[in-house]
C-alpha cells in the first residue's frame, strides 16, 4: 500500500480555509499527498510586564537582557535541536546542495552559534538548557520564577495561558528579525494498492 494523490480530493474552497503555506506540508514535488488537519507550533512566549516588546532578532534578545528558556536537546530520534536548525535555515543555511547532497553553510551556522555563545556569556542562556528536550520540561520554571522569555509549543501555551495572563505569544527570534515558527503537522492520507497512484518512492510519512 502507498499514499495516493489528493489533488482531486481537496477542492479550492477547502484549500482557501487553510492557513497560508499549510498545504505545502503535505506536498511532494507540488503534488498533494497529505491534508493537514492539526498543527502544533513552537513559538516564543514573553512576559509583557517584563519585556516591553517581544524580541524578534538576535540583537533585540541581547538588548532585552532577559533570561531565556528553550529546549537545548534535540527531540527523540533527532540529532539537532529544532530551534537551532530553523534559525540556521532562516539565516540562509542550506541542508542540501543543488545535487541533493548534504550541505552545511559555515557563515550561517557561525552567526547562529555566535548568538548562543554571546547569550551564554551574558547569562541569558543557562547551562540547564542542555537538559531540556521540550517546553514541558521547564514550564514550571518559566511560570514560577517569572522568566521573561521562553520557547514553547502551542499546546503547552494554550493549556496554561489562563494562569499567566501577562504572557503573550510571538515569533521565534532570528538573525534578521523576520518571522519564524516551527510547525509539526498531522495529516490525513489515502492509501492505494495501485502503483500508478503511488507517491514517489523517496517520500516517507510522519504521522
Spatial distance between the Cα atoms of 31 and 14, rounded to a whole number of angstroms:
16
pLDDT score of 145 more than 70: yes
Q: Are residues 164 and 92 in the same domain?
A: yes
Q: Can you list the alpha helix ranges (DSSP code H) found in 135-196?
A: 139-144, 154-160
Q: Are residues 106 and 4 in the same domain?
A: no
Spatial distance between the Cα atoms of 9 and 31, rounded to a whole number of angstroms:
12
Q: Are residues 173 and 151 in the same domain?
A: yes
C-alpha distance across the termini of the chain, in Å: 16
Cell 496554561 found at: 160
Spatial distance between the Cα atoms of 109 and 193, rounded to a whole number of angstroms:
43
Sequence-ordered strand ranges (E) for the chain: 2-4, 27-28, 31-32, 35-47, 68-69, 149-153, 167-170, 182-188, 190-192
Neighbouring residues of 195: CB distance < 8 A, sequence distance ≥ 6: 2
What is the model's pTM?
A: 0.82
Contact assessment for residue 181 and residue 42, using Cβ atoms and an 8 Å cutoff: yes
Alpha carbons within 13 A on the beta-carbon side of 3: 23
Q: Are residues 103 and 134 in the same domain?
A: yes
More confident residue, 8 or 137: 137
Sequence-ordered strand ranges (E) for 34-130: 35-47, 68-69
Q: How confident is the model over 44-81, as pLDDT tens digits? A: 999 999 998 999 999 999 999 999 999 999 988 888 89
The C-alpha angle 119, 125, 131, rounded to 5 degrees, equals: 140
Cell 545535487 found at: 99
Q: Are residues 70 and 90 in the same domain?
A: yes
pLDDT score of 200 more than 80: no
pLDDT of residue 13: 81
Domain presence at residue 206: yes
Spatial distance between the Cα atoms of 177 and 57, rounded to a whole number of angstroms:
4
Q: Are residues 17 and 62 in the same domain?
A: no
Q: Are residues 74 and 136 in the same domain?
A: yes
Can you give the residue range of the structural domain that contains 99? 41-177
Q: What is the CATH number of the domain that holds 113?
A: 3.40.190.10
The size of the chain, in residues, is 207
pLDDT of residue 151: 97
pLDDT score of 197 more than 60: no
Amino acid at each position: 500500500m502507498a499514499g495516493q494523490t489528493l489533488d482531486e480530493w481537496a477542492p479550492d474552497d477547502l484549500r482557501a480555509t487553510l492557513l497560508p503555506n499549510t498545504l505545502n506540508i503535505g506536498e511532494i514535488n507540488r503534488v498533494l499527498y497529505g491534508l493537514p488537519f492539526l498543527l502544533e507550533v513552537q513559538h516564543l512566549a514573553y512576559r509583557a510586564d517584563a519585556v516591553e516588546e517581544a524580541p524578534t532578532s538576535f540583537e533585540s534578545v541581547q538588548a532585552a537582557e532577559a533570561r531565556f528558556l528553550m529546549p537545548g536537546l534535540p527531540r527523540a530520534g533527532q540529532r539537532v535541536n529544532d530551534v537551532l536548525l530553523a534559525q540556521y535555515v532562516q539565516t540562509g543555511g542550506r541542508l542540501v546542495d543543488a545535487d541533493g547532497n548534504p550541505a552545511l553553510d559555515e557563515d550561517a551556522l557561525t552567526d547562529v552559534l555566535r548568538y548562543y555563545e554571546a547569550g551564554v556569556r551574558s547569562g541569558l542562556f543557562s547551562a540547564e538548557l542542555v537538559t531540556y528536550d521540550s517546553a514541558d520540561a521547564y514550564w514550571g520554571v518559566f511560570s514560577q520564577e517569572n522568566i521573561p522569555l521562553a520557547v514553547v509549543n502551542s499546546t503547552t501555551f494554550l493549556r496554561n495561558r489562563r494562569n499567566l495572563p501577562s504572557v503573550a505569544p510571538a515569533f521565534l527570534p532570528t538573525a534578521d528579525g523576520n518571522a519564524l515558527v516551527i510547525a509539526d503537522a498531522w495529516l490525513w492520507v489515502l492509501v492505494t494498492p495501485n502503483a500508478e497512484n503511488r507517491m514517489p518512492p523517496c517520500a516517507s510519512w510522519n504521522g
